[in-house]
Each structure stands twice: as C-alpha cells, then as structure tokens.
C-alpha cells in the first residue's frame, strides 16, 4: 500500500505547495498595492505647488499643482461615457500660464447634449489639480480626428502636438468659473483584487489537499 501511495502523496504535496505559494505571493502583492494606493492618495491630497519647469512623467505623476493663466480655444473633446451622465465629452483645453507657458488642462466633462457653453468657455482661471500622463491608448482605440478636435483617449504627446502646447496635462480638481464638471484623479479606478486572488489560490490548495486525502484513503481501502 505504501508503494502505491508514494506517487499520489508526492503529487498532492507538490500541488498544495505550489498553490499555497501562489496565494502567499498574492498576499505580498496585496500589501504592495495597498502601500502604492496609500502613497497615491497622500500625493493627491498634498498642498499644491507651482508647476515645475520640466516635470518628470514618473517622479511627478499625480503631483498637486496650482497654475493661473488663461484658458484658450479650442478644447480637444475626448468622447466618453459617465455613469449618471451618459455620453459626454472630456474637455482638454490649451492653457496659457501667467509666465507664458502653454500647457493642457483636463477641465472635466460635459454632457454631449449640453456642451456648447463649456466648449466656448475661455478666459482667466486658476486651476488646482494634479499632473498626469494617462496611458489610455491601446490597439482597440479608434484613430482621433485632430482637425475636428475629436479624440477617443487622452494621449498627452499627440494632443500636445495638436494643441501646440508642452506635453504637460493638469487634471483639474477645481477651476474657477468653468461650467465643465471636474473629474479629479482618485484611486477608485485602480484595481486591488489581490485578496480575492489569494483566497482563490488558498481554496484551491484546500481542495487539492482534500482530493489527495480522499485518494490516499481509497488506496488504503483497496486490497493488496
């Protein structure tokens, strides 16, 4: 009986060890992701600073800034859909800062059927928000129509070329007097499902152990 049980026992032990290791790795990822989200939340809520001269897309991602200047026409319209609003445009406007720099400001959203006022809005403004270089373009994103100002994702470098600005995007948390609805950056769109993954692996390990135990019991019941 012992000879017949060696291979199932070895197979069951190795399988359980692998599944438990995968569950433990997901717990490590959970702790790492929680720290990352906490760091992002801390940065998002920090006191705004002046716009850096040459912001770095990695080191300055989510940096809170405050800029004063003038919103310029025409805004780029990023087609989107928002829960509770429906089809909408996310407006990305050129912004001339008080010290003469041209950057971009993500002003927020407006419903498609009520976009005229926001599209025409220009003038002096103080913007508080966060620097961002969103990675939204993939192989399924339709080609934009820069001439018509219509986009399907935020592409900072391409938009900057079209709007003749620096490749700098400030996602507004608030803009004085703007009819657009700000869509500030937060962490709700960043998934953190590692606890569910860990529980799945540990459950599979328990099932594997149970099946191995059942097989060993059946082997033991067989006559030599």
Q: Tokens representing 115?
A: 């976009």
pLDDT in the model for residue 224? 59
Residue spans of the domains in the chain: they are 2-40+191-221, 63-175
Spell out the residues 6+ positions from residue 94 whose beta carbon is closer than 8 angstroms to its own.
Answer: 71, 72, 73, 75, 102, 103, 104, 163, 164, 165
pLDDT in the model for residue 41? 85
- In DSSP terms, which residues pair with 174 in a beta bridge? 128
Average pLDDT over residues 95-113: 94
CA dist., res. 197 & res. 183, Å (int): 30
* Cis peptide, bond prior to residue 74, ω within 30 of zero: yes
Which percentage of the chain shows pLDDT scores above 70? 97
Average pLDDT over residues 71-92: 90
pLDDT band at residue 215 using 50, 70 and 90 as cut-offs? confident
Q: Which helix (H) or strand (E) holds 42?
A: helix 2-44
Which segment of 13-17, 58-62, 118-122, 158-162 scores lowest on mean pLDDT?
Answer: 118-122
DSSP three-state, residue 98:
coil
Which segment of 63-77, 90-104, 210-224 scores lowest on mean pLDDT?
Answer: 210-224
CATH of domain 63-175: 2.40.50
Beta-strand relationship, 64-71 and 123-131: antiparallel
| pLDDT tens-place string over residues 134-165 | 988 988 999 999 999 999 999 999 999 999 99
pLDDT in the model for residue 115? 72
CA dist., res. 109 & res. 194, Å (int): 32
Cut 0.85: pTM above it: no
| pLDDT tens-place string over residues 183-201 | 988 877 777 889 999 999 9
Average pLDDT over residues 102-109: 96
pLDDT at 168 > cutoff 70: yes
pLDDT in the model for residue 70? 94
């Amino acid at each position: 009986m012992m000879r017949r049980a060696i291979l199932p026992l070895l197979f069951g032990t190795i399988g359980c060890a692998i599944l438990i290791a995968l569950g433990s790795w997901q717990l490590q990822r959970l702790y790492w992701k929680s720290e990352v989200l906490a760091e992002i939340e801390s940065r998002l809520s920090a006191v705004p600073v002046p716009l850096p001269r040459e912001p770095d897309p990695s080191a300055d991602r989510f940096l809170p800034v405050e800029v004063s200047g003038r919103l310029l026409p025409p805004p780029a319209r990023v087609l989107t859909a928002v829960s509770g609003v429906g089809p909408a445009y996310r407006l990305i406007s050129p912004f001339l800062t008080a010290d003469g720099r041209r950057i971009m400001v993500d002003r927020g959203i407006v419903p498609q059927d009520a976009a005229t006022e926001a599209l025409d809005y220009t003038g002096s403004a103080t913007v508080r928000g966060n620097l961002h270089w969103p990675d939204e373009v993939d192989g399924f994103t339709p080609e934009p129509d820069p001439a018509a100002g219509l986009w399907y994702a935020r592409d900072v470098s391409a938009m900057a070329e079209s709007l003749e600005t620096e490749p700098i995007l400030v996602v507004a948390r608030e803009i004085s007097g703007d009819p657009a609805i700000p869509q500030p950056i937060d962490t709700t769109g960043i998934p953190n499902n590692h606890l569910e993954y860990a529980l799945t692996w540990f459950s599979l390990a328990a099932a594997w152990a149970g099946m191995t135990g059942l097989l060993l019991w059946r082997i033991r019941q067989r006559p030599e």
